[in-house]
Chains A and B, each alone.
Chain A
Amino acid sequence: MSFLTDRKRAVGMGASHVGTHHHWSMTVSSVGLLILVPLFVFTFGPMLGAPHAEVAAFFARPFPAIVAALTFVVGFMHFKNGVQVAIEDYTSGMTRKILIIAMICLSYGAAATGVFAVARLAL
Chain B
Amino acid sequence: MADVNRGNRPLSPHLQIYRPQLTSITSILTRISGNALLLGALLAVWWFLAAASGPEHFAIADGFITSWFGDLIMLGSTWALWYHALAGVRHLIWDTGRGFELQTAETLGWAVIIGSVVMTIFTLIVV
Contact flags (1/0) for B9-41 with A, using CB distance below 8 Å? Answer: 000000000000000000000010011011001
The verdict on A110 contacting B45 (CB below 8 Å), with A27-B95, A52-B51 known, is yes
Query: Across the interface, which residues of A come within 8 angstroms of B74, CB to CB?
Result: 48
The verdict on A114 contacting B48 (CB below 8 Å), with A27-B92, A76-B41 known, is yes
Query: Across the interface, which residues of B come within 8 angstroms of A37, CB to CB?
Result: 81, 85
Query: Across the interface, which residues of B come within 8 angstroms of A27, CB to CB?
Result: 92, 95
Question: Closest CB-CB distance, A42 to chain B, in whole Å?
Answer: 7
B62 at the interface (CB under 8 A from A): yes
B66 touches which of A34, A49, A86, A114 (Cβ 8 Å): A49
In the bound complex, CA of A42 to CA of B126 (Å): 8
What interface size band does chain B fall in? 20 to 34
Main secondary structure of the interface of B (DSSP, over half): helix
| CB-based contact A52/B58 at 8 Å | yes
Question: Closest CB-CB distance, B64 to chain A, in whole Å?
Answer: 11
Number of A-B contacts (CB under 8 A): 83
Question: In residues 35-57 of chain B, which contact A (Cβ within 8 Å)?
Answer: 35, 37-38, 41-42, 44-45, 47-49, 51-52, 54-55
Query: Across the interface, which residues of A come within 8 angstroms of B81, CB to CB?
Result: 37, 41
A-B contact pairs, 30 of them (CB 8 A): A31-B92, A34-B85, A34-B88, A41-B123, A42-B123, A42-B127, A45-B123, A45-B126, A48-B65, A48-B66, A48-B74, A49-B65, A52-B51, A56-B51, A59-B51, A76-B41, A79-B34, A82-B34, A83-B34, A110-B42, A113-B45, A113-B49, A114-B48, A114-B49, A116-B49, A117-B48, A117-B49, A118-B48, A118-B52, A121-B51
Nearest 9 CB-CB pairings of A with B: A45-B127, A117-B48, A120-B52, A117-B52, A117-B49, A52-B55, A49-B66, A114-B45, A52-B58
